[in-house]
């Protein structure tokens, strides 16, 4: 009867925590709000950044983060990084990626990509879920309680499929994703820019694999996104790849050997390149050193050379910035502040480019690696009600349309519309007795379907047979606060809901996600044990606290000496096993304590009832 | 319009929030009613913005994360209507089209393809200049810029006229005025397309 006991003793279950997660291309972080503000939660070793790298070991274990990063070099065929680039995408979308990244796509990857790691295949959401699981564990270890709900950030320019894939990853990791929030918007929350009360702010976010620009209007705690733009395939990765290519060419001419297909060599070189790149943000020149199998390649890079090499990559961010300013309906002069987000904004050339474009010195006070996760934690606190004076109004980055005659797109919801947003359209049949109508929904700015991104096909089913053109079915397209499309349909004549079947063009079906959750449970056997132990400890905490409180109750002193002794004994027995990794043992001792305190609970209940009765003055 | 009783406390609920228990009610899809505004064409946009922020704070899904499934659904629907309504009502053209549609006017796009007769000559010259520029004749540029400025001014004139008609309709509720507004909107759209086209060519 642990429940009864808890109620009697009034042990309060704390409000479940919601964490904020930045699921990045290169690194991921988890953060949480405490009394003084948002804080990044480090891993048990004290590291705030968890590298977004996942490895499937020969022993059949999933390894994530820093240990997986090491395996990139030792086990390149079983290890994957930058998987965010593949989220919500089809094989045809990622041909460019495949040329530059060592992704091993498994056979039969049509609408859903499958990556080969050793002898198993994993979808990008599954890979991401292992990273999320790691973050979840880090948070649970630090907070001492189970974490089930999260806010996860996505690039503002992510489309519907990419968002859905991120949500799927959360579910696979055992997290309820309460909200997907756009990375630049999250960053603006973390900066607390609303302190200036009113103003226009631009957020320039150049990460490992994605670029976003958002322009917001701040008004008394409301963060209203006016426009957003970006490129989901532009980031620090592109800089690394360029430097790797140059180094590989050098090495080939020096050593007479082409290493570009040697996974382990390329990964070693990649590390050297990244380190050199990072150093160049702080020093005017550096040596890039690459050692492989007893041979050594060295090259001196000046910052100037580096900047010449990457100038065009940085320039690619400027077009989206200008388009965003125009879409926001503001002039450069009206923008009060510029915020830099993402590790790549440490590069001095990036800072100069931003300063020149916006004619303002950008904010860099917060660590650009952490600011998104911190903002996600603020959004989590908004959702729990712990923060009430702030509200985020975001927009959909891409227009939503349906296919009409001749493969032309009819736009229903325009880009930069504040979300949630909706549109309705009435559909009918073309043939007598037609039972089904197929609606093809696309996302993008172009006029023709073939130039936009197919989102899904919605099939209106079981339409009552009628002459052509008579049925009137109103379909409502609603983009929710996560930027994800929901479709409902109503038969206008009967007012009844019309059944709609969704066939996503890319990504996982509901059944696939369910199947993966089952499958992941096998892999998560160890996790599961750990979780059980943690749950048992939470339960133990509750009963120990309740007993402690009860010891001050009058009823406690009415117990016999013997009974009190038994309670003390049971408490000590429970404390003895509290830190053991055996949840069954902990639960057994909880049960013992429960039994020992049964009489006490009854007495306290009686007292409570008596005083309640007295209070009512019958 | 008659409203149902509050789903939560059962008392009569006329507003978005129940007067008695403050529960969020299923939202009405009418944009003006949602904002609690008279259906006027001449609208105070600054006031609309204040109302938008105020309502956002109260209906946004962020405020209902811990609510029941029903409340979350109402909040999602209410926020969508709020955002759609704000987008339409803050823009004079979209607002007029919304009112026209509610009064049974067809506001299809195809009508804007007919050249307004008084613009025929001007449009003819403009097309010649556009053609020249496309063929690489940069000397057409100044005349195109002049044409763009003329059309922008014309559009400004249309906007002034629209403003007058808005007030006239608000005062009289005369359908005839709406018909004239529709005519002006078509003209405006036509001119707008021309400006856009010229700007695109000039930027190319």
The ipTM assigned to this model is 0.87
Please write the tens of the pLDDT for every residue from A161-170. 999 999 999 9
Binary contact (B61, A480; C-beta < 8 A): yes
Angle, in degrees to the nearest 10, between helices A124-143 and A510-523: 50
Compare CB distances from B53 to A219, A385, A417 and report the shortest one's residue.
A219
Count of C-beta atoms within a 10 Å radius of residue A559: 16
Task: Identify the sign of the CA torsion A470, A472, A473, A479.
Answer: positive
E strand residue ranges, A87-197: 115-117, 120-122, 149-154, 176-182
Residue A355 dihedral angles phi and psi, to the nearest 5°:
-65, -40
Separation between Cα atoms, residue A113 and residue A124, nearest integer Å? 7
Compare CB distances from A420 to B57, B65, B80 and report the shortest one's residue.
B80
Predicted pLDDT of residue A522: 63
Asked if residues B163 and B42 have their Cβ atoms less than 8 Å apart, the reply is: yes
Longest dimension (CA), chain B: 74
* B66 at A interface, C-beta within 8 A: yes
Task: Identify the sign of the CA torsion A497, A499, A503, A509.
Answer: positive
Separation in Å, CA of A489 to nearest CA in chain B: 14
Predicted pLDDT of residue B114: 62
Separation between Cα atoms, residue A281 and residue A238, nearest integer Å? 16
Percent of chain A exceeding pLDDT 90 equals 45
Among A49-58, A77-86, B141-150, B184-193, which is the least confidently predicted range? Answer: B141-150
Predicted pLDDT of residue B20: 81
Tokens 């409502």 correspond to A476
Question: Among residues A159, A85, A12, which one has the least CA distance to residue A483?
Answer: A159
Binary contact (A220, B86; C-beta < 8 A): no
Which run of H or E residues covers position A437?
strand A437-443
Q: Residue A448 pairs with which residues in a beta bridge?
A: A408
Separation in Å, CA of A178 to nearest CA in chain B: 7
Binary contact (A421, B80; C-beta < 8 A): yes
The pLDDT-based confidence of A206 (bands split at 50, 70, 90) is very high
Please write the tens of the pLDDT for every residue from A266-316. 888 989 999 999 999 999 999 989 888 888 889 898 999 999 999 999 999
Separation between Cα atoms, residue A527 and residue A413, nearest integer Å? 43
Separation in Å, CA of B51 to nearest CA in chain A: 13
Q: How many residues does chain A have?
A: 618
Predicted pLDDT of residue A477: 93
Asked if residues A366 and A222 have their Cβ atoms less than 8 Å apart, the reply is: no
Separation between Cα atoms, residue A42 and residue A134, nearest integer Å? 11
Burial A424-442 (b: 16+ CB within 10 A, else e): eeebebeeeebeebebbbb
Predicted pLDDT of residue A8: 39
Predicted pLDDT of residue A350: 95
Compare CB distances from A393 to B56, B80, B81 and report the shortest one's residue.
B56
Q: Examine the pLDDT at A78 and tell me if it is beyond 80.
A: yes
Among A69-83, A194-208, A238-252, B91-105, which is the least confidently predicted range? Answer: A194-208
Q: Examine the pLDDT at A178 and tell me if it is beyond 60.
A: yes
The pLDDT-based confidence of A538 (bands split at 50, 70, 90) is confident
Q: Examine the pLDDT at A3 and tell me if it is beyond 50.
A: no
Binary contact (A419, B83; C-beta < 8 A): yes
Q: Which residues of A touch B66 (CB under 8 A)?
A: 383-385
Compare CB distances from A422 to B66, B84, B86 and report the shortest one's residue.
B84
User: What pTM was computed for the model?
Assistant: 0.81
Please write the tens of the pLDDT for every residue from A372-425. 999 999 999 999 999 988 999 999 999 999 998 888 888 899 999 999 999 998
Separation in Å, CA of A90 to nearest CA in chain B: 30
Predicted pLDDT of residue A112: 80
Q: Examine the pLDDT at A6 and tell me if it is beyond 80.
A: no
Count of C-beta atoms within a 10 Å radius of residue A93: 16
Predicted pLDDT of residue B56: 96
Distances in whole angstroms, Cα of residue A274 to Cα of each of A22, A83, A343, A610, B200: 21, 18, 12, 72, 42
Asked if residues A209 and A25 have their Cβ atoms less than 8 Å apart, the reply is: yes
Residue A301 dihedral angles phi and psi, to the nearest 5°:
-120, 130
What's the token pair of residue A266? 């390329």
Compare CB distances from B83 to A220, A383, A417 and report the shortest one's residue.
A417
Q: Examine the pLDDT at B4 and tell me if it is beyond 80.
A: no
Q: Is the peptide bond before A260 cis (omega within 30 degrees of 0)?
A: no
Predicted pLDDT of residue A333: 93
Which run of H or E residues covers position A346?
none
Separation between Cα atoms, residue B182 and residue A364, nearest integer Å? 51
Coil, helix or strand at residue A433: coil
Separation between Cα atoms, residue A415 and residue A437, nearest integer Å? 26
Structural domain boundaries in chain B: 1-90, 112-203
Closest residue in A to B63 (Cα–Cα):
A383
Q: Examine the pLDDT at A197 and tell me if it is beyond 80.
A: no
Coil, helix or strand at residue A285: strand
Tokens 């048992």 correspond to A536
Among A49-53, A55-59, A351-355, which is the least confidently predicted range? Answer: A55-59
Separation in Å, CA of A42 to nearest CA in chain B: 27
Q: What is the set of active-site residues of A?
A: 22, 84, 183, 205
Pairs across A and B, CB distance < 8 A: 56
Q: Is B74 exposed, middle or buried (0-12, 13-18, 19+ CB in 10 A)?
A: buried
Asked if residues A520 and A435 have their Cβ atoms less than 8 Å apart, the reply is: no
Asked if residues A204 and A187 have their Cβ atoms less than 8 Å apart, the reply is: no
Q: Examine the pLDDT at A617 and tell me if it is beyond 70.
A: no
Asked if residues B183 and B132 have their Cβ atoms less than 8 Å apart, the reply is: no
Closest residue in A to B87 (Cα–Cα):
A417
Output DSSP code: residue B62: G
* B62 at A interface, C-beta within 8 A: yes
Predicted pLDDT of residue A1: 35
Q: Examine the pLDDT at A2 and tell me if it is beyond 70.
A: no
Q: Is A482 exposed, middle or buried (0-12, 13-18, 19+ CB in 10 A)?
A: buried
Tell how many helices (H) and how many strands (E) occur in chain B.
Answer: 7, 0
Compare CB distances from A382 to B56, B62, B81 and report the shortest one's residue.
B62
Binary contact (A222, B61; C-beta < 8 A): no
Q: Which of A319, A376, A418 would best serve as a mutation to test chain B binding (most B beta carbons within 10 A)?
A: A418
Separation between Cα atoms, residue B198 and residue A319, nearest integer Å? 21
Tokens 């349909």 correspond to A489
Binary contact (B87, A418; C-beta < 8 A): yes
* B123 at A interface, C-beta within 8 A: no
Closest residue in B to A418 (Cα–Cα):
B83
Binary contact (B57, A385; C-beta < 8 A): no
Binary contact (A220, B56; C-beta < 8 A): no
Separation between Cα atoms, residue A376 and residue A183, nearest integer Å? 8
Compare CB distances from B65 to A178, A391, A393 and report the shortest one's residue.
A178
Separation in Å, CA of A572 to nearest CA in chain B: 38
Count of C-beta atoms within a 10 Å radius of residue A554: 9
The pLDDT-based confidence of B49 (bands split at 50, 70, 90) is very high
Asked if residues A22 and A372 have their Cβ atoms less than 8 Å apart, the reply is: yes
Q: Examine the pLDDT at A444 and tell me if it is beyond 50.
A: yes
Separation between Cα atoms, residue A460 and residue A161, nearest integer Å? 21
- 3-state SS of A380-417 is HHHHHCCCCCCEEECECCCCEEEEEHHHEEEEEECCCC
Binary contact (B76, A382; C-beta < 8 A): no
Task: Identify the sign of the CA torsion A254, A257, A263, A265.
Answer: negative
Separation in Å, CA of B79 to nearest CA in chain A: 6
Average model confidence (pLDDT) across chain A: 87
* B112 at A interface, C-beta within 8 A: no
Binary contact (A481, B62; C-beta < 8 A): yes
Predicted pLDDT of residue B29: 87
Predicted pLDDT of residue A523: 60
Closest residue in B to A381 (Cα–Cα):
B62
Tell how many helices (H) and how many strands (E) occur in chain A.
Answer: 18, 27
More confident residue, B87 or A196: B87
Q: Which residues of A touch B63 (CB under 8 A)?
A: 385
The A337-341 sheet, strands edge to edge: A337-341, A198-206, A211-219, A222-231, A391-393
Class of domain B1-90: mainly alpha
């Amino acid at each position: 009867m642990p429940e009864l006991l808890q109620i009697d003793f009034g042990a309060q279950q704390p409000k479940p925590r919601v964490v904020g997660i930045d699921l990045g291309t290169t690194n991921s972080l988890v953060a949480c709000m405490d009394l003084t503000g948002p804080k990044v939660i480090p891993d048990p070793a004290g590291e705030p950044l968890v590298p977004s790298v996942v490895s499937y070991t020969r022993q059949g274990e999933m390894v994530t983060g820093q240990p997986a990063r090491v395996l990139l070099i030792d086990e390149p065929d079983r290890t994957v990084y930058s998987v965010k680039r593949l989220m919500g995408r089809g094989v045809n979308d990622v041909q460019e990626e495949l040329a530059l990244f060592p992704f091993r796509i498994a056979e039969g990857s049509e609408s859903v990509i499958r990556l080969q790691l050793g002898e198993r295949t994993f979808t990008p959401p599954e890979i991401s879920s292992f990273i999320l699981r790691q973050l979840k564990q880090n948070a649970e270890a630090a907070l001492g309680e189970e974490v089930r709900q999260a806010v996860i950030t996505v690039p503002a320019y992510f489309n519907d499929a990419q968002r859905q894939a991120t949500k799927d990853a959360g579910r696979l990791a055992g997290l309820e994703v309460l909200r997907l929030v756009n990375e630049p918007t999250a960053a603006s929350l973390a900066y607390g820019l609303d302190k200036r009360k009113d103003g226009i702010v631009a957020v320039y976010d150049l990460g490992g694999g994605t670029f976003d620009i958002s322009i917001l209007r701040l008004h008394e705690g409301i963060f209203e996104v006016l426009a957003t733009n970006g490129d989901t395939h532009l980031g620090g990765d592109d800089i690394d790849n360029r430097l790797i290519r140059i180094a590989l060419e050098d090495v080939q001419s020096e050593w007479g050997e082409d290493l570009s297909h040697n996974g382990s060599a390329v990964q070693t070189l990649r590390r050297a390149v990244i380190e050199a790149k990072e150093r160049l943000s702080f020093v005017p020149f550096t040596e890039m050193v690459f050692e492989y199998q007893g041979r050594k390649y060295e090259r001196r890079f000046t910052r100037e050379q580096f900047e010449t090499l990457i100038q065009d990559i940085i320039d690619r961010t400027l077009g989206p910035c200008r388009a965003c300013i125009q879409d926001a309906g503001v002039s450069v002069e009206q923008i009060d502040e510029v915020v830099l987000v993402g590790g790549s904004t440490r590069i001095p050339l990036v800072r100069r480019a931003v300063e020149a474009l916006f004619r303002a010195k950008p904010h860099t006070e917060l660590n650009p690696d952490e600011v998104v996760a911190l903002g996600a934690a603020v959004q989590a606190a908004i959702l729990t009600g712990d923060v009430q004076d702030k509200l985020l109004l975001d927009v959909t980055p891409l227009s939503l349309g349906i296919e009409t005659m001749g493969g032309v797109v009819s736009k229903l919801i325009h880009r930069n519309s504040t979300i949630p947003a909706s549109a309705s359209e009435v559909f009918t049949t073309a043939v007598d007795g037609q039972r089904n109508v197929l609606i093809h929904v696309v996302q993008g700015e172009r006029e023709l379907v073939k130039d936009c991104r197919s989102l899904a096909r919605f099939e209106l089913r079981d339409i009552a047979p009628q002459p052509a053109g008579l049925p009137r079915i109103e379909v409502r397209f609603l983009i929710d606060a996560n930027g994800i499309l929901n479709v409902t349909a109503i038969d206008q004549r009967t007012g009844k809901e019309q059944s709609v079947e969704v066939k996503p063009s890319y990504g996982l079906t509901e059944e696939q996600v369910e199947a993966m959750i089952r499958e992941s449970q096998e892999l998560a056997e160890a996790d599961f044990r750990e979780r059980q132990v943690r749950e048992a400890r939470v339960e133990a905490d509750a009963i120990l606290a309740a007993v402690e409180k009860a010891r001050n109750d009058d009823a406690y002193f009415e117990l016999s000496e013997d009974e009190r002794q038994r309670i003390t004994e049971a408490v000590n027995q429970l404390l003895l096993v509290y830190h053991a990794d055996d949840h069954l043992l902990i639960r057994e001792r909880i049960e013992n304590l429960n039994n020992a305190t049964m009489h006490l609970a009854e007495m306290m209940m009686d007292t409570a009832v008596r005083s309640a009765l007295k209070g009512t003055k019958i | 319009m008659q409203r149902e009783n509050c789903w939560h406390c059962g008392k009569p609920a006329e507003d978005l929030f129940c007067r008695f228990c403050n529960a969020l009610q299923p939202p009405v899809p009418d944009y003006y009613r949602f904002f609690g505004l008279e259906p006027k064409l001449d609208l105070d946009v600054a006031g609309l913005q204040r109302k938008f922020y105020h309502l956002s704070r109260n209906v946004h899904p962020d405020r209902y994360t811990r609510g029941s499934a029903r409340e979350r659904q109402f909040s999602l629907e209410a926020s969508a209507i709020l955002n759609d309504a704000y987008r339409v009502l803050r823009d004079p053209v979209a607002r007029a089209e919304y009112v026209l549609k509610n009064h049974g006017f067809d506001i299809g796009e195809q009508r804007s393809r007919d050249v307004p007769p008084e613009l025929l000559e001007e449009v003819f010259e403009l097309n010649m200049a556009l053609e020249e520029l496309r063929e690489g004749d940069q000397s057409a540029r100044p005349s195109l810029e002049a044409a763009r400025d003329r059309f922008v001014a014309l559009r400004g004139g249309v906007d002034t006229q629209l403003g007058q008609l808005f007030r006239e309709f608000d005062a009289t509720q005369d359908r005839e005025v709406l018909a004239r507004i529709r005519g002006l909107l078509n003209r405006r759209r036509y001119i707008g397309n021309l400006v856009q086209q010229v700007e695109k060519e000039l930027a190319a």
